[in-house]
Structure formats: C-alpha cells, structure tokens
Amino acid sequence: MKRLGSLRRWFSRKFGYSRLLCLGLLIGFAALRVLDPGPVQELRVRIFDTFQRIDPRVKTARPVTIVDIDEKSLAKLGQWPWPRTQLADLVANLTNLGAVAISFDVVFSEPDRLNPSIAAESMRDLDEVSRAKLRELPSNDQVLADAIRRSRVVLGETGLAGAEPQLDKDLPVTGFASLGEDIEPFLPEFPGLLRNIPVLEKAAAGRGVVTIVQERDGIIRRVPMVVRAQGAMMPSLSLEILRVITGTPTVLIRSDKAGIKSIKLRQLEIPTDGNGQLWVHFARQDPSIYVPAVDVLDGSAPIDRIKGKLVLIGTSAVGLHDIKTTPVSPVMPGVEVHAQVLESLLTGAAVSQPSYAIAVELLAAMILGLLVIAFAPGFGPVTLVLVGALFASLLIGTSWYFYQHYRLLLDFTYPLLSTTAIYLTLIFSSFVREQAQRRQIRSAFNQYLSPALVEQLAQSPEKLVLGGEEREMTILFSDVRGFTTISETYKRDPQGLTRLMNRFLTPLTNAILARKGYIDKYMGDAIMAFWNAPLDDAQHEINACEAAVDMLECIEQLNQVREQEAKDGGPVYIPIHVGIGLNTGAGVVGNMGSDLKFNYSVLGDAVNLASRLEGQTKEYGFPIIVGSKTALAAKDKFAILELDFIMVKGKKEPEVIYAVAGREDVAHSESFQRLRNLTVEMLACYRNRDWEGALNAIERGRKSDEVHALGYLFNLYEARIVNCKKNPPPEDWNGAFALLTK
C-alpha cells in the first residue's frame, strides 16, 4: 500500500490527473467525431455556410436559364396548372430557340383536366356530334408528349414518404453501375415515388428526382445525386440532365467502405459525400438567368437567353410553394437550386468534402490535443491565451485555405472544439488545484503568519518554494526568564498556568505577525520566528527589531495588568521578563521533517547564533541582543549598543553582538548617548589591555544615572578584567570572549 501511495504521488507530480482526464476527453471527442451525431454535423455545416457567405461562387458563365412560371405569367395565362397544350407550345418554342435540353421541375402525375375527352363528358348541353368530335381529338397529354419527343426533355419526379403502387416495369429507367462497395446502404431512400403519367414518361429523354432533402435546420446545403425510391435507384434531376446531354448510357458510381466517393458521366466526375450528395457551391441569386414563361410563349424572350442553354422550367411564385433556404439566401426558388448545381458542375466550381476529411480532422485533433496536454500546464496565462489563439488561427486558416484554393470542405470545428475543451479542462483543473493549494497554504500558515501575508501567499503560491531554499533571513528566539519559578506558583492550578501562557504568548505572537514575521514553532514558553520567508521582505532586519521592541512593550502592559489583578486578590504576581535574540544570516528554509510529518522551518548557523544570543540576554542584562548584520541594518532606526566580541562554540569567526535599547527616539536621547559613550570607552580600554582604564570607565558608569541599565554589563566586564589581571591573555588575543553557556 505504501508503495502504491508513492507511485500515486509520483504520477500526480510528474503527469497529473488533469492530464489523464484530458486524454480521456481526447479519446471521447474522437469517438464523438466517428459517431458524428446530428448536433456535431450541424455545427460543422454552419461553418461551411459561413465560408460560402464570405466567399460565394463567382459565376464565370451562365449555362443554365430558368423559364419561370412567375407572378407575371400567372397573371396573363391564368392559374396553374396550365393546359398541357400550352406547355407543348412552351417546349416547342424553346426547342426552336436553340435550347440544348429542357427539364421540368414539376410533376405531371395526373392527366390534364382539360383533355378534350374529359371536356366531352363534362359538358351538359353538348350535342352528340360535337361530343364525338371532341372524343376524336388528341389528348392534351399526347400533344405535350409529341412536343417532348421532338425535343430533348427531362421530366421531374418526386420522392414520397409513403409507399405508392409498384412502378410500371414498362417505363424506361436510368442504368447504373457501381465500382467498389455496395452503395445501397448509403443512399437516401424514399418509400414512394410520384411519377409522371406514362405517355409523358415514355416520350421523355430522361427522368430525374426533383426532391431536395433539407438539413436538420431547414437549410439546403446538399442535393442527392442518386436516391433509392420505391426500391429502385433514381438519378436526381440535375444528374439526369447531365447524363442526357453527355450521352452517357450508364451512370458509374465509385464507392469504398466509407461510402460513395463520386459519380462519373463519361469525362465528368462529380464528387459527393458518403451518401451520394453533392455539396452545392452556391452563388448569390442571379435574376439574369430568369425568363418569364409568358415571354417564351408570346415570342418576346431574348434568343441569347435560350440558345445553347440548359433550360429549367420551374416556378418562383410564392403561392406555388417551391421556396427554399440556402446558406447564401433565405429565399431561393427550388428550381434555382437545381440551376446552381448544374452551373457549379459545368464550370468546374464544385466543392466537396473528401472521404479522407475525417482522418485529417482526427489527426489534427489528436496532435493539437496532445500538444496542449503536454505543454499547456507549464505556460502562464498570457502564453496560454496566445498559444490558444495561434492554434485557433492555424485551424481556421488551414480550413479556409483548402476551401478557397481547392474547394475542399475540411472541418476545423471538431479539432478546435476538442482542443478548446481540453484547454478549458486544464484551466479548470488548474483553478481547482490552485484553490486547493491556497486552502492548504491558508491552513498551513494562518497560525504562523498575519492574515494579510497568508492571503498574499495564497494568491502567489509560487513564492513558496517547498523542499528547501537558501536565502538571507532574520531569526528570532524569545524565552521567558525564570518561568520555572512562575510555574511553581500554579502547582495547584495547571489550568491557570495554561491561561497565563496563552495570555503572554498571544500578544507576543501578534507582535511578530504584525511585523510580517513567520512563527516557526512554540517550545513551551519560548517562540522561534523568522523573516524574509516564505514571502520576500526587503526590511526583514528592521521588522524583526520592531517586533522585538513591540514584544517587550506587550509584556510590560501584561505585567501591569497582572500586578493590578494580584492587588485585587488574584494570583501571586511574579513579573514576566523575556529575553530575545535576533540574528541575520543565510539559512535553508522549507519543509523539514519526515514523509509522515513535516514543518516549514529554517536551518543554519544564523539560527544557532540567534538561539545563543537569546540565552545571553540574562548575562548581559539587556532583553534584546542582536548579531552584527542585524545591528548594521537597523542602526539608523534603533538605539544600538555594542556589547561584546564573542566566539560561539563551533564557529571559527568571532561575532560582534549588540543590544537594542529602544527605537529611534531613544537613540537620539542624551541619556542613551552617555550610555553609549561609557560602553565605547570601556570596550576600547578592555580590548587594548588597558585594565585600569576599563575599570575607571566602569566606576564612572556606576556613579551615573544609567547604572541601572549597565549594571549587569559592568559586573560582567569587571569579573573578566580581574581574571585577565591574574591570567593575562596571549599576545594574539583580539578581545574575543568564548561563550561558555548557551
């Protein structure tokens, strides 16, 4: 279990669970692209719509003309449907004007209601002779069939959602051949097929399905080139027109396991999607290709608009309900959609989505996703945004490049979506991790740092270098003098002793925290603290000295309160006195301890010296003793008094130590100036072996007003001088005194 835990920690540190989650997301998005549900398809086609709106097909030629059953024609010729004889005249006139081929975007599924035979039976007061003559006249349907037979006409048929009677096997059908896999599972299918009446079907040069399948959102983007209708394969109207004019007897369909790849008519190969649908490369609506049907019938249509053209007969009249929505236009007659298909194919401007597109999209998503997973967690916020923008620009630019130069539709939304999801997951997991890290930092440090510093550290956790770093620091040790004596008075009241400890440790702690210090540990009645870690503090020496002076003031206030409590009948009053040692130097700070328990602490010679200085406060009679580096940094802000030149056990170099006698106001006072002059004179005589001069300075000091502050120091040096007189120091003596106690 321990080994498993270590492995888990190693994995979390080196790889990270967020990366593992993102790998799962990457695989999930790959599966989503392969399954390709409706919402994913809709997002993809919306992007292709945007491309077409930005850069629609530019017409380089106009091979198609639409003879429009428009509002003008309906107004002059009457409501639709018109008599088939009138349509026969329309076909004849178009043929005479030089139309290459004519196709109907309408279906003649029933006999003409104005056929002479029908009129003969429906007229009430018609004599038998006239009735017989009407029966002998050719039907309007036959007249139209004869006109169709004399031209090259393709009739339209409609796929139906419901089943119709079986197809007449005698009616002509278009031949198909396939190369590759079975194509039938991929074709759009209609249970029924609405055909023209047989007399017209047999006369036509071709027959094609006019049904256009809308996308989920009702927009026309793709037109089926081949469908299965009522169990038979049928070409679209556009494909059948092309087959007829190219003289292709059999349509060849190429396919593979992914679906249909293309449809071939002699030298013309039509790219399709896997379901045999053509992506229509739409141009903007072009009114110039429309000619009113009435103008063709009355001979006023321009010949150049008909001669050499493929003519589609359809309607733009709103009342006839053949209006479609396309990417470039919300209102486009269905007949123009067929015209756009023919134009794009005949002018070589078709667009396609290649069968390998899904492989390209998956590869792009995998590469970009892995790059983001590998490198994004190491980037800063600005870099992440810039890299994200670069990836997005790369994907969009690549997709646009292939569309504009090669008319290929490659979807950038899928790799962009998957990469963005991974990117956001990493950001979210990073946010969660940072919040957890901040909570951990607050929990770990809120007892040892001021709330403001804890919050600063939580907001900038990079400032916390765990595991150990070397930096210049100021260390503080404090201890209560004579605490054993105080605790003995609480033998019968241990709870009272605990309350007393809390009463003096709380203000001392607050004083340290208020001056940006970090509480390392409590050792009974002692405190260890340091500055300049984990957060940088450019004035750590001054802040440490300020904290030390504040601590003495707090103890003085506490003693006053306790003394009054004793007078009021409280516990026996024994004043609390604190010794404080400060030292500045290099230390190694970080998480110290074992795998099971550790603490944020500092180690080093500077720490040891600070502890020794705290112990010497009772010897020198000053409550705050500091090392030379601390004194040098704080000399302009505090009353600094040199005390001694000592040699600490274990160190090769001696250290000058100082007392902090107060703040700047004390330093400028006359009493402190006299105090400092006395100590300077005494120390100078002592270090120059002028024992009498040193004793003389001590004697004068004892007669001064400052004797209470220097009493311990004078006694200490007097004892040393007496010893030096009896046992003179060696010739190389530099005045340093080796500490005998801690």
- The 3 state secondary structure assigned to 346-369 is HCCCCCECCCCHHHHHHHHHHHHH
Q: Which two tokens stand for residue 95?
A: 């043929």
pLDDT-derived band of residue 8, with 50, 70 and 90 as boundaries? very low
User: What ranges make up the beta strands (E) of 411-517?
Assistant: 469-481
Listed residue (640, 683, 638, 629) closest to 664, CA to CA: 638
Cis, peptide link before residue 235, omega less than 30° from 0: no
Residue 218 φ/ψ region, left for φ over 0, alpha for ψ in the -120 to 50 degree band, beta for the rest: left
| 550 pLDDT tier (thresholds 50, 70, 90) | very high
pLDDT tens digits for range 45-99:
888 888 889 889 999 889 999 999 999 999 999 988 999 999 999 999 999 999 9
Residue 169: pLDDT over 60: yes
Q: CB-side exposure of 739: number of CA atoms within 13 Å?
A: 26
Q: Sort 182 into a burial class: Cβ within 10 Å, 0-12 / 13-18 / 19+.
A: exposed
pLDDT of residue 555: 95
The Cα–Cα gap between 540 and 515 comes to 9
- Please calculate the CA angle 104-108-109 and round it to the nearest 5 degrees: 140
Tokens 């190429």, residue? 254
Q: How far is CA 230 from CA 166, 215, 319, 445, in A?
A: 7, 22, 29, 78
Average pLDDT over every residue of 408-434 = 78
pLDDT value at position 306?
Answer: 95
Output the six-digit token pair for 97. Answer: 């004007």
Asked whether the bond before 534 is cis by omega within 30 degrees of 0, the reply is: yes
Helix (H) or strand (E) holding 9: helix 2-14
Burial of residue 471 (CB within 10 Å: 0-12, 13-18, 19+) is middle
Residue 14: per-residue pLDDT? 46
Cβ(131)–Cβ(123) below 8 Å: yes
Which residue blocks in 62-113 are alpha helix, DSSP H? 71-77, 84-96
Given a contact cutoff of 8 angstroms between Cβ atoms, the answer to whether 77 and 86 are in contact is yes
The pLDDT of residue 225: 93
pLDDT tens digit string along 372-390?
Answer: 887 777 676 677 778 778 8
Whole-angstrom Cα distance, residue 672 to residue 706?
8
- Which of 173 and 564 is assigned the larger pLDDT? 564
Tens of pLDDT along 290-337? Answer: 999 999 999 999 999 999 999 999 998 877 778 888 999 888 998 999
What are the backbone dihedrals phi and psi of residue 16, each rounded to the nearest 5 degrees, phi first? 95, 135
Q: What is the mean pLDDT of residues 559-575?
A: 89
Q: Tokens representing 247?
A: 């003289």
Question: Does residue 393 carry a pLDDT above 60?
Answer: yes
Mean pLDDT of the chain: 85
Over 90: is that where the pLDDT of 38 sits?
Answer: no
Contact 156, 103 (CB under 8 A): yes
The residues pairing with 176 across neighbouring beta strands, listed in sequence order, are: 251
Host H or E run for residue 205? none
Lowest mean pLDDT among 117-131, 421-435, 547-561, 677-691: 117-131
How much is the pLDDT for 462?
A: 54
Of the chain, the percentage scoring pLDDT greater than 90 comes to: 44
Name residues whose C-beta falls within 8 Å of residue 323's C-beta, 6 or more positions apart in sequence: 331, 332, 333, 334
Q: How confident is the model at residue 543 (pLDDT cuts 50, 70, 90)?
A: very high
Residue pair 194/211 in contact (Cβ under 8 Å)? The answer is: no
Query: Can you give the C-alpha Rg of the chain in angstroms?
Result: 50
Mean pLDDT throughout 97-116? 90
Q: Tally DSSP H helices, then E strands, for the chain.
A: 25, 27
Q: Is the pLDDT of residue 10 over 50?
A: no
Mean pLDDT of the 14-40 span: 76
Provide the pairing of β-strand 469-481 with 577-593: antiparallel
Q: Which of 284, 283, 274 is nearest to 345 (CA)?
A: 283
The residue that leads in pLDDT, 705 or 625, is: 625
Entry field: residues in the chain: 742
Q: For the chain, how far is it from start to end, CA to CA, in angstroms?
A: 45
Output the pLDDT for position 390.
85
Mean pLDDT of 635-646: 94
Count of other CB atoms within 10 angstroms of residue 359: 11
Task: Check residue 11 and give its pLDDT.
Answer: 42
Domain boundaries, the chain: 2-54+359-440, 64-346, 446-459+470-668, 669-732
* pLDDT, tens only, 574-585: 899 999 999 999
| Predicted pLDDT at 167 | 59
- Cα(610)–Cα(583) distance, rounded to whole angstroms? 5
Whether 661 and 678 have beta carbons less than 8 Å apart is answered as no
| pLDDT tens digits, 597-627 | 667 789 999 999 999 999 999 999 999 999 9
> Residue 70: CA atoms inside 13 Å, Cβ hemisphere, count?
14
User: 446-459+470-668 in CATH: which number?
Assistant: 3.30.70.1230
Instruction: Give the 3-state secondary structure of residue 651.
Output: coil
* pLDDT of res. 478: 96
pLDDT given for residue 7 in this prediction: 46
93, amino acid identity: N
Helix segments in 621-706, DSSP class H: 628-634, 664-667, 670-687, 691-702
Residue 544 above 60 pLDDT?
yes
Q: What pLDDT band is residue 138 in, cutting at 50, 70 and 90?
A: confident
pLDDT at position 2 over 70? no
For residues 114 and 472, the model is more confident at 472
Q: What is the pLDDT of residues 497-534, one digit of tens each?
A: 888 999 999 999 999 999 999 888 989 889 999 999 88
Banded pLDDT at 258 (limits 50, 70, 90) = confident
Residue 570 has pLDDT above 90, yes or no: no
Q: CA 626, CA 614: separation in Å to the nearest integer? A: 9
Output the six-digit token pair for 18: 């967020």
Q: Does residue 459 have a pLDDT over 70? A: no
| pLDDT category of residue 247 using cuts at 50, 70 and 90 | very high
CA neighbor of 41 nearest in space, from 52, 50, 33, 30? 33
Cα 419 from Cα 391, distance rounded (Å): 9
| Section 454-462 average pLDDT | 58
Contact 303, 93 (CB under 8 A): no
User: Residues 468-495: what's their mean pLDDT?
Assistant: 88
pLDDT tens, residue by residue, 329-338: 888 998 999 9
Distance CA 362, CA 370 (A): 12
Q: How far apart are CA 448 and CA 444, in angstroms?
A: 8
Q: Which amino acid is present at 380?
A: G
Each residue's pLDDT tens digit, 179-202: 988 898 899 999 888 999 999 999
User: Which stretches of 596-641 are DSSP H helices?
Assistant: 605-620, 628-634
Helices in 531-669 by DSSP H: which ranges?
540-567, 605-620, 628-634, 664-667
